Structure 1
């Protein structure tokens, strides 16, 4: 996700220098993050601040399937989109000014989230969802979770990746060989190799293992690192200007098959063969190998397809989408707070958690974008987000 103004000399831009369809993709991905965490709240596996899990199999299975597909691409795609604008920004500002800007725009949200927002969210859950009758001051007296980056692990990782890139440019001195836009076969081959690497990493760091206090799930980092690098390569070689839907036209059917056939086939390892769930997340198990390869193949395919689709279908500018794109970073930061507040408010509603998801997810998207639109108009704050 581009967390600052997306300046570039690439074609297909509006008059502010932004690539329109990249901005629009950023908005869609940000909304998807909100829906993803609402799914985790009410039924899908994953870590979050508040849980109220449904036990309806008819809800749990599609929720799990949706979260699994989301996880295969959406955070990696944020890293790719962010990397697209880093080389031009670095060349324009220079290394020192670039890193100062990164620290300002990314460091301040990290501090705010860890020391203020995460603390407030944890209090809301402790006080109102878990029914501990204490004041906020009393809660703070016994609170020890001050270093809590939460969803801003992405921002911290982006800051570290950016610093590594700056160091790399100092060493290489722009001695980089030009690369052609990958073919469809090369994209799939890359995804297969990435799946193998991911499997090997997960023998040590299974999905769900978190490097604290950084909040990094290292089992997902092979993808994050590689697609960030490919985002830098894409920017240097102007791949975005060369992509069209015809180039990756067969991916749509491939993705559909990998989702509707591949996921049930993988689930059969657990249901039919009696494979424990823990065997899917890591270790030397065939289930972990199959899942890692499926995840990376479908994830990389979706990223490529979205770039091609976005360029053809989403490359139009509107005032509404421009406002949504302007506040997307603020929305990413604030959406956990909005979801926690909504979840606590609807806790006493006497319906199944799956029904609550149908209420909270759309409300969460709408209210967070409304809040984000207000926040980016606050003097001072708008210089950060």
Structure 2
């Protein structure tokens, strides 16, 4: 999720009208000519999914399963909680993977524009600085806010987080991961310089996409044997990284052919149908396991049917959601204006600042009784609106605008 509106992943300054570039010199000219233009569909999709991230964390606040700073309602078997769990489970299958795909998509052109040293410098500025700010300031701030719900002193908790090694990157683990991926990509260019050559390949066939989904499922299952979902290694949940790595690499491969701006109907329709079929399978399997005590086991990882199903379910859902949404937003948003343009510009900053704002909004009316779904809808909406306004104010400061 990672710089500017079109850069919640990485810089997005490709010109929408230039596709299927024929030669390296022509391609580089096109990249330079389009350096100040954006792809409206990708910008709008990134902005919309950023707001979905806010609602995702709001759902955890009110009864979904997952890690978050403040949980007002614990997960349960009530209809509201189950719906929020389903909401988060489906989101997790694809939305962060989409951000990694877009990050990869803008990596090769960014490298060509800046060169190796400039590329590293830009990544450190646009990813490293937000990561550092969150780690040192927003992390203890959000933790201290959340602990006031338990009657603890804000200042004492803030100090404790600093003095007892409790600092962490929160949602900015994504920036941390992208820095690692960027360095890995640079190493790959050094090992294989020919990978930088601009080539126009055809969009992957359904057979290739199927193979990628199967390999991703296998890799996820194997990773989760060692690092189950929920286990952090250096602040990263490696159990999810099979799809993140595959999608980042796919984004890099897609850049020169502009694949994400030209999704073929055949692949879009096939994978949307696949996602519709796959979507209910994992939730139904979970219900069967609980109700009839068959196909049991922790889905987070291990040698059990639920873990196998979950590992393969995710990419089959993700491919459909991602291709379908990319195509939809390309059709709907040729260029952005008004609120959409402002939202796109503020998206990464919204992603950075939303944790303390969300916790504050939830705490502000925690003593008012209301159904979980009502609180989810109201808190999520207010948080998105406040984040939008605060991001607009912060972007007026030139140093902030330079970074995000």
TM over 0.5: yes
Shift of 1:12: 7.2
Say if 1:130 and 1:210 are closer, same or farther in 2 by CA, change over 3 A.
same
Shift of 1:274: 5.2
Residue 304 of structure 1 is matched in structure 2 by 323
Report Cα offsets for 1:305-343 as digits up to 9, x if no partner: 222222223334222211111110100001111111111
Distance 1:239 1:33 in 2: 25
Question: Which residue among 47, 66, 75 is the counterpart of 2:67?
Answer: 47
Shift of 1:137: 5.4
Root mean square deviation of aligned Cα: 2.2
Residue 160 of structure 1 is matched in structure 2 by 180
Question: How many residues are treated as equivalent by the alignment?
Answer: 380
Residue 144 of structure 1 is matched in structure 2 by 164
> Does 2:352 correspond to 1:333?
yes
Residue 24 of structure 2 is matched in structure 1 by none
Distance 2:125 2:35 in 1: 26
Residue 104 of structure 2 is matched in structure 1 by 83
Say if 1:247 and 1:204 are closer, same or farther in 2 by CA, change over 3 A.
closer
Residue 219 of structure 2 is matched in structure 1 by 197
Residue 233 of structure 1 is matched in structure 2 by 253
Residue 11 of structure 1 is matched in structure 2 by 17
Deviates more, 1:344-353 or 1:194-203: 344-353
Shift of 1:186: 2.6
Shift of 1:35: 0.5
| Normalised TM-score (structure 2) | 0.88
- Point out 4+ residue stretches in structure 1 off by more than 4 angstroms: 12-15, 175-178
For structure 1, which runs of at least 5 residues remain unmatched after alignment?
none
| Normalised TM-score (structure 1) | 0.92
For structure 2, which runs of at least 5 residues remain unmatched after alignment?
20-33
Distance 2:293 2:166 in 1: 44
Residue 279 of structure 1 is matched in structure 2 by 298
> Does 2:229 correspond to 1:207?
yes
Deviates more, 1:220-229 or 1:294-303: 294-303
Shift of 1:37: 0.4
Distance 1:167 1:279 in 2: 37
Distance 1:83 1:379 in 2: 27
Say if 1:266 and 1:135 are closer, same or farther in 2 by CA, change over 3 A.
closer
Distance 2:364 2:164 in 1: 25
